[in-house]
DNA sequence: CTAGGTGCCTGATTGC
DNA sequence: TGCAATCAGGCACCTA
């Protein structure tokens, strides 16, 4: 499933591929993929607008358009964004197709139909609830510490909370906790200073490494970049979907449990 | 604030 | 072998 590194890769691809492009028409094959506005408003309002730039905030792809207005796309579980020629065969899972005036199209496909598209003039309406970016220069260790210090809950659900920190999903949360040597059920406000520092460093290095590898593509969660290519970060996953296999550090079998309703992988020896 | 549950969805996996 | 039930999971939304 696309998390921060996959969305970052996608946004960089789209910045290179569609910056400056102009929308010609929009076709919705699954109108509920459009969270806002009403379908007719998008179909009438988008043609003629240009893509000024593409960026990422949390797990949202953000296209800043002329006007100005903003097209925000959240891929959720199974969403894809690809740029292709309008003569290519269309994916059977295409939910929204943005035809460009240059003969290409931006296709949002999404087998599970969980992804959502927003078109609005005030992006903070959607993005305003997000916490800080984990990789931002101004997210200091001290800021991170203050986020956790006042929280009573377990680390795993907290790190998945986008209002606390924006961009972590199930894969990189498990990987970061493993690298930091912290149990997913540890209470956030119980961390020693050194443990907080380890977690802070682990989150940032896990995410940066995944970006460097253009994201994680698993066998069934078929993440692809804007040109249809998989990422190659899979070999860097040490616990996620490794249940029963020996821990890379100590050899103890990796366990899988459910925390907060989500599959959680950890080493019972290295993570207390 | 925290914890737990449900609904949204369908391809893949599991169970009998 | 084949079909039905279950699972996976990000997020909104609900209740306690």
Residue A94 pLDDT grade (very low, low, confident, very high; cuts 50, 70, 90): very high
Taking only the tens place, the pLDDT of each residue in A189-207 is 999 999 999 999 999 999 9
Residue A120 pLDDT grade (very low, low, confident, very high; cuts 50, 70, 90): very high
Nearest CA-CA partner of A3 in A72, A55, A74, A65: A74
Overall average pLDDT of the A98-112 stretch: 95
Residue A223 pLDDT grade (very low, low, confident, very high; cuts 50, 70, 90): confident
Report how far residue A204's alpha carbon sits from residue A218's, in angstroms, rounded to the nearest whole number.
21
How many angstroms is C1' of B14 away from CA of A40?
A: 43
Nucleotides of strand B under 7 angstroms from a protein beta carbon: 1-6, 8-13
Cα A196 to the center of its chain, rounded Å: 23
How many angstroms is C1' of C5 away from CA of A110?
A: 24
Report how far residue A252's alpha carbon sits from residue A254's, in angstroms, rounded to the nearest whole number.
6
User: Given a cut of 90, is residue A133 above it in pLDDT?
Assistant: yes
Nucleotide nearest to A30 (CA to C1'): B9
Report how far residue A139's alpha carbon sits from residue A146's, in angstroms, rounded to the nearest whole number.
11
User: Given a cut of 90, is residue A116 above it in pLDDT?
Assistant: yes
Residue A29 near residue A97, CB atoms below 8 Å: yes
Contacting residues 143-162/A vs strand C (CB within 7 A): 160, 162
List residues bridging with A97 in a β-sheet. A27, A107
Residue A221 has what pLDDT?
61
Q: What share of chain A has pLDDT > 90, as a percent? A: 84
Overall average pLDDT of the A23-37 stretch: 95
Residue A266 has what pLDDT?
93
Taking only the tens place, the pLDDT of each residue in A244-254 is 889 999 999 99
Residue A73's Cβ-side half-sphere holds a number of Cα atoms within 13 Å equal to 28
User: Given a cut of 90, is residue A220 above it in pLDDT?
Assistant: no
User: Given a cut of 80, is residue A222 above it in pLDDT?
Assistant: no
Average of per-residue pLDDT values in chain A = 93
How many angstroms is C1' of C8 away from CA of A94?
A: 21
Report how far residue A161's alpha carbon sits from residue A167's, in angstroms, rounded to the nearest whole number.
9
User: What secondary structure does DSSP assign to A145-175, as a single string?
Assistant: HHHHHT--SBHHHHHH-TTTSSS--HHHHHH
Which residues of the protein have their beta carbon within 7 Å of strand B?
Answer: A 32, 77, 111-114, 150-154, 157, 188, 219-220, 260-261
Taking only the tens place, the pLDDT of each residue in A40-71 is 999 999 999 999 999 999 999 999 999 999 99
Active-site residue list of A: 2-3, 59, 262
Overall average pLDDT of the A256-270 stretch: 90
A261 touches strand C (CB under 7 A): yes
Q: Nearest-CA residue to the C1' of B8?
A: A114
User: Given a cut of 70, is residue A162 above it in pLDDT?
Assistant: yes
A59 touches strand C (CB under 7 A): yes
Backbone angles phi, psi at A10, to 5 degrees: -65, -45
């Amino acid at each position: 499933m696309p998390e921060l590194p996959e969305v970052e890769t996608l946004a960089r691809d789209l910045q290179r591929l569609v910056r400056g492009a102009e929308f010609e028409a929009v076709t919705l094959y699954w109108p509920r993929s459009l969270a806002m506005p009403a379908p007719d408003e998008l179909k009438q309002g988008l043609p003629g607008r240009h893509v000024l730039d593409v960026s990422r905030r949390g797990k949202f792809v953000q296209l800043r358009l002329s006007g100005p207005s903003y097209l925000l796309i959240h891929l959720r579980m199974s969403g894809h964004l690809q740029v292709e020629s309008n003569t290519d065969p269309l994916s059977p899972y295409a939910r929204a197709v943005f035809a460009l005036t240059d003969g290409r199209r931006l296709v949002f496909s999404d087998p599970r139909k969980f992804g959502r598209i927003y078109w609005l003039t005030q992006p903070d309406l959607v993005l305003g609830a997000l916490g800080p970016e984990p990789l931002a220069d101004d997210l200091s260790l001290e800021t991170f510490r203050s986020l956790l210090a006042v929280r009573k809950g377990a680390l795993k659900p907290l790190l998945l909370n986008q209002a606390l920190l924006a961009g972590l999903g199930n894969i990189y949360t498990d990987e970061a906790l493993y690298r930091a040597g912290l149990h997913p059920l540890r209470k956030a406000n119980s961390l020693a200073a050194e443990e907080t520092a380890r977690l802070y460093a682990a989150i940032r290095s896990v995410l940066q490494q995944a970006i460097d590898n253009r994201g994680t593509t698993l066998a069934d969660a078929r993440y692809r970049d804007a040109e249809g290519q998989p990422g190659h970060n899979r070999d860097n996953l040490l616990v996620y979907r490794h249940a029963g296999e020996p821990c890379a550090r100590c050899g103890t079998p990796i366990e899988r449990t459910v925390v907060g309703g989500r599959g959680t992988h950890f080493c019972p020896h290295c993570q207390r």
